[in-house]
Structure 1
Amino acid sequence: MTDHVRDLASVRDATERLLTAIAKLDNAAVGEASRLPGWTRGHVLAHLARNADALTNVWEERPMYVSGEARDTDIARDAPRPLDVQLADVRDTAARFEAAAAATADWSRTVELRNGVTDSASRVPFRRWAEMELHHVDLGIGYELEDMPEEFTEREIDFLADRFSGHPDVPPTRLTDGTRAWSTGRVADGPGITVTGTPADLVGWLAGRREGAALTVTGGPLPTLPPL
């Protein structure tokens, strides 16, 4: 069962870790390329701030973003800002996100996210936690998939395996780290494919952060996953 209180605490921890890490950068480093194609570190930080605003909108029953184009325009606008402005924006928007969470009374209600996606309000904190963890890795400043909390990594594998479950373009696939196992892809019409690796490599592949070279694949080639 989702524990939104625990997840909100995890969001706070992840936010503080990220803020502490980026405070060690300088303006030049913020303008350098991140690990996301076409994005600088400034783009990643701007996205994290605007995502906090967007999820605050969700809790306050407004559209998450005015439009996809407006979302991209806002990130591009904010990406070139100096480090101190980026830090303040990430910190201030995180505080507004937390305040909106504190004002949320009905955690069982269904909320609307981007592109018509809906979810329980209680799962929004975990979605924000994922933003903080994965984009901290994307900054390319020493925080790796292996450094993410074990609880987060396991739950993100659960989340992404469920996201691709039933997808017609993903063959029946079993994921395992040698101890735990997950299923994803379309309904099995045969033996299917088994993908084995460390939790970090599994989540990296599922989240589009690693190509899967370290994974062991049996029963066919490594599936090509749709973009998130």
Structure 2
Amino acid sequence: MIDHAHDLASVREATDRLLTAVAKLDNASVARPSRLPDWTVGHILAHLARNADALTNVLEGRPMYVSGEARDTDIERDAPRPLDVQLTDLRESDARFRARGAEPADWTRTVELRNGVTDAAARVPFRRWVEVELHHVDLGIGYELEDLPKEFTEREIDFLAERFGGHRDVPSTGLRSEDGRVWTTGGGAAGGPVGVEGSAADLLGWLAGRRDGAALTVHGGTLPALPPL
């Protein structure tokens, strides 16, 4: 069962870690390339702030973004800002999101995200947690997939395995982490079953498009190519 209050607390902790780490940078770092193609550190920080506002919109029953074009324009506009402005914006947008999440609400209701995707309102705080944790890694400032909280890593693997379950481009695939946890995904494409084993961090990195899977051990075929998130 999804515990939105627990996940909101996890968002706060993850955001505090991020803010503490980013505060050690300087203004020149804002323009440095991140690990995401064509995005600087500033792009990621701007995206995180605007995503907090977007998910607040979702909780309030408004469109997540006015449009995809408006989303991209806002990120490009905000990316070059000085570090102190970025930090203030991220801190304040996170506070708005968590304040809205703390209000009484029907957490069983269905909400709409981008591109017609729907989900339970109770899952929105976890989605925010995902944004903060993975983009902290994407900044390339010393926080790695191995540093993610164990609970987060396992739940995000759960989420992504479910997301790719039955996907027409992914053969039946079984995942096993070094600590013995297992997942299944894919199944909509010919071939398989394929077995994929490795550390939880490497499994998550592959599923989330952050690693190429070279560190994983594959049985029964080749490592499936996953569609973009």
> Per the shorter chain, which TM-score range?
over 0.9
Quote the offset at 1:191 in angstroms: 5.0
Whether the aligned pair in 1 keeps the contact of 2:171 and 2:192 (CA below 8 Å) is no
C-alpha deviation, 1:30, in angstroms: 1.2
Once the two structures are TM-superposed, the CA of residue 186 in structure 1 deviates from its matched residue by: 1.8
Aligned mates of 2:191, 2:95 — CA distance in 1:
49
Number of the residue aligned with 2:90: 90
- How far residue 22 of structure 1 moved from its aligned partner, in angstroms, is 0.2
Match of 1:20 in 2: 20
Amino acid corresponding to residue 183 of structure 1 in structure 2: T
Equivalent residue, structure 2, for 1:62: 62
Name structure 1 gaps, 5 residues minimum. none
Aligned residue identity for 2:57: N
Q: Which residue of 2 aligns with 1:103?
A: 103
Q: Give the counterpart letter for 1:185 in structure 2.
A: G
Residue 213 (structure 2) aligns with: 212
What stretches of structure 2 of length at least 5 have no aligned partner? none
- Contact preservation (8 Å) 2:166, 2:187: yes
Q: What amino acid does structure 2 have at the position aligned with 1:26?
A: D
Q: Look up the equivalent residue of 2:196 and give its one-letter code.
A: V
TM-score by length of 2: 0.97
Q: Secondary structure at the match of 1:195?
A: strand
Name the SS of the counterpart of 2:86 in structure 1: helix
The offset of 1:103, in angstroms, is: 2.0
Which whole-Å deviations, capped at 9, do the CAs of 1:191-225 have from their partners, x for residues lacking one? 50000010000000000000001000011110000
Q: Cα gap change, 1:189/1:27 in structure 2, threshold over 3 Å: closer, same or farther?
A: closer
Q: Is the 8 A contact 1:59 1:104 kept in 2?
A: no
Instruction: Give, in whole Å, the separation in 2 of the partners of 1:67 and 1:143.
Output: 31
- Map Cα deviations across residues 139-188 of structure 1 (whole Å, 9 max, x no partner): 00000000000000000000000000010000100011140110000258
Q: Percent identity?
A: 74
For residues 66 and 134 of structure 2, the distance between their equivalents in structure 1, rounded to whole angstroms, comes to 24
- Residue 223 of structure 1 is matched in structure 2 by 224
Query: Could you tell me how far apart the structure 1 residues matched to 2:161 and 2:84 are?
Result: 38
**In 1, Cα distance between equivalents of 2:80 and 2:189:** 47
1:1-228 aligned within 5 A:
1-178=1-178, 179-186=180-187, 192-228=193-229
| 1:99 Cα offset (Å) | 1.1
Q: How many residues align?
A: 228
C-alpha displacement of 1:189: 6.8
